[in-house]
């Protein structure tokens, strides 16, 4: 059987980094084995559904280049559709299927109806806690005769269906990442399979769906590890072969003490996308978060990762997330783009910031000037605004153009001479190198200090305390615009 993996999100919010890493690992396993990557929607908790969540999560996956082969997908108009031979792929559309299999287990004596009310279960738990016991279902309806159970169900009494787990049995399980795990069924309770409203629990729905959709590998987060023995025992009850399981370590916040969350500054994948992080940066960062190729390599192409990724090399211990690392990785990928790609990427952010900009050679020069410093593209407006909008000449600006240990009158005279010098530079020397050679000669002949000349030029052109150097800014702005700004600075 070919490899088939699935990502099964709940439509209760946005896609976050932990889930995205799970998707990446599933996708890599599918791609390296010529398999199938499926998206299935687990929407049985109807009270927590968020409108538009499925579409937005899918849009994030497509932006990341993690297109599903089957299941819930987006069509050419970015609308949510279902594709494949094992549908429906939305659990709320599969209620009759879950009921059929739950009833089958009841008929075979492997599950039973529980008629306990919420009040009765609450009293049971309180009594167990009072005795110092761990609260769990006490199996009070497990031995109810089948005839009486059928009679009460026919009469309309409310019930759930619970699995009758084997008692006092050791269960050995194999996890690709964690190795052999041992559980005792006495530590488990007879969990609910089908709720009184006809909706399945995660345990029943996931097992039935994974079997019917021929899933070969269940790759999911560590939080589902406690469900694994229940899943395996349910496969056993049905007489089905279980898939291979791999439970991924949790991603910790930067302090390494708790799960990565919003309080750490973590946001949804959509927000990272809107900030202008590159999908390949997120892909590389998250793949390496808990996995290593066994070498010192820090950056691998998607094709290399597809070839070399191994689930068995994923570490068991939690992985610590670092925003600084993400920015470093993102910056590395930005530096390996072409200037044209950078210009195209920053253009929407400049337009959104109401910066007047036109595509062309000037935008390309601006993009090149910030490429080494960019970590994500939403930084572009603050880094480039001065190229497109002249600084306002006010008291703050006048104070800024004067370096320490100098006075305003002196600097104004220096800038006037600088303007004359710049005006004499021929067009064929208007390069960063040509400008530097000319102005350093001016500094030497006038017996100025570099600070006395270069700081006022840069500050006059940009209106900022920090920016690219004077030679670079002069080169990008050009002679006409540079002279206009210097003249404004000295009141001419």
Indicate which residues carry an active-site annotation. Answer: 262
Q: CA 342, CA 93: separation in Å to the nearest integer?
A: 45
DSSP, collapsed to helix, strand or coil, labels residue 375 as: coil
Phi-psi region of 312 (alpha: psi -120 to 50; beta: other; left: phi over 0): alpha
Please tell me the distance from the alpha carbon of residue 14 to that of residue 17, in angstroms, as a whole number. Answer: 10
- DSSP H helices in 302-392: 302-308, 323-335, 339-352, 361-370, 380-388
Q: Which of 206, 213, 192, 202 is nearest to 235 (CA)?
A: 206
d(CA 413, CA 417): 6
- Contact predicate 323/265, CB 8 Å: yes
Find the helix or strand (DSSP H, E) in which 220 lies: strand 217-221
Q: Which two tokens stand for residue 335?
A: 């530096």
Residues 6+ apart with CB under 8 A from 68: 7, 37, 38, 39, 58, 61
Residue 393, CA atoms < 13 Å, CB-side half-sphere? 11
82 sits in which H/E element: strand 80-83
Q: Are 144 and 113 in contact, with CB atoms under 8 Å apart?
A: yes
HSE (side-chain half, CA atoms, 13 Å) at 121? 12
Query: What SS3 class is residue 160?
Result: strand
Q: What is the DSSP string of 173-200?
A: EEETTTEEEEEEGGGS---EEE-TTSPB
Instruction: Indicate the DSSP class of residue 109.
Output: T
CA-to-CA distance for 381 and 374, rounded, in angstroms?
11
Under DSSP, is residue 71 helix (H, G, I), strand (E, B) or coil? Answer: strand
Q: For residue 487, what are its two tokens? A: 């003249």
Helices (H), 389-428: 395-400, 408-423
User: What's the CA dihedral at 450, 453, 458, 463 to 10 degrees?
Assistant: 130
The 10 Å Cβ neighbour count of residue 146 is 12
Rounded CA-CA distance 131/133 in Å is 6
Distance separating alpha carbons of residues 153 and 478, to the nearest angstrom: 85
Burial class (CB in 10 A: 0-12, 13-18, 19+), 163: buried
Residues 290 and 15 sit within 8 Å (Cβ to Cβ)? no
């Amino acid at each position: 059987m070919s490899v088939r993996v699935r990502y099964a999100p709940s439509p209760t919010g946005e896609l976050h980094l932990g889930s995205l890493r799970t998707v990446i690992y599933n996708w890599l396993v599918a791609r390296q084995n010529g398999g199938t990557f499926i998206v299935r929607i687990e929407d049985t908790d109807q009270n927590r559904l968020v409108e538009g969540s499925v579409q937005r999560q899918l849009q994030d996956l497509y932006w990341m280049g993690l297109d599903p082969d089957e299941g819930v997908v987006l069509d050419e108009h970015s609308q949510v559709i279902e594709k494949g031979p094992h549908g429906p792929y939305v659990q709320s559309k599969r209620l009759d299927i879950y009921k059929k299999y739950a009833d089958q287990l009841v008929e075979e004596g492997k599950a039973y109806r529980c008629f306990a009310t919420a009040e009765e279960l609450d009293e049971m738990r309180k009594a167990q806690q009072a005795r110092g016991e761990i609260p769990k279902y006490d199996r009070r309806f497990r031995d109810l005769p089948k005839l009486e159970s059928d009679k009460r169900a026919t009469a309309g009494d409310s019930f759930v269906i619970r699995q009758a787990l084997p008692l006092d049995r050791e269960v050995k399980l194999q996890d690709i990442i964690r190795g052999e795990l041992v559980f005792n069924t006495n530590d488990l309770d007879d969990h609910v399979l089908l709720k009184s409203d006809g909706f399945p629990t995660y345990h029943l729905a996931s097992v039935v769906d994974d079997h019917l959709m021929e899933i070969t590998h269940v790759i999911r987060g560590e939080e589902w590890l406690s469900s694994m023995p229940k899943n395996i025992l349910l496969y056993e009850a049905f007489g089905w072969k279980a898939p291979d399981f791999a439970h991924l370590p949790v991603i910790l916040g930067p302090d390494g003490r708790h799960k990565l969350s919003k309080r750490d500054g973590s946001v949804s994948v959509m927000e990272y996308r809107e900030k202008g992080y590159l999908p390949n940066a997120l892909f590389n960062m998250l793949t390496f978060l808990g996995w290593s190729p066994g070498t010192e390599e820090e950056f691998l192409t998607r094709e290399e990762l597809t070839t070399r990724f191994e689930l068995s090399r994923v570490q068991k211990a939690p992985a610590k997330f670092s925003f600084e690392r993400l920015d470093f990785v993102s910056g590395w990928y930005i530096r390996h783009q072409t200037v044209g790609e950078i210009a195209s990427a920053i253009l929407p952010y400049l337009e959104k910031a109401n910066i007047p900009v036109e595509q062309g050679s000037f935008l390309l020069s601006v993009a090149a000037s910030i490429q080494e410093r960019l970590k994500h593209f939403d930084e572009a407006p603050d880094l480039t605004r001065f190229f497109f909008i002249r600084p306002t000449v006010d008291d703050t600006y006048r104070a800024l153009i004067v370096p320490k240990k100098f006075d305003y009158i002196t600097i104004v005279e220096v800038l006037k001479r600088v303007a004359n010098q710049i005006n004499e530079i021929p067009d064929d020397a208007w390069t960063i190198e040509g400008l530097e050679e000319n102005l350093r000669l001016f500094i030497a002949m006038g017996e100025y200090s570099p600070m006395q000349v270069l700081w006022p030029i840069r500050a006059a052109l940009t209106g900022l305390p920090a920016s690219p150097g004077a030679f670079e800014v002069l080169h990008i702005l050009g002679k006409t615009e540079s002279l206009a700004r210097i003249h404004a600075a000295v009141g001419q």
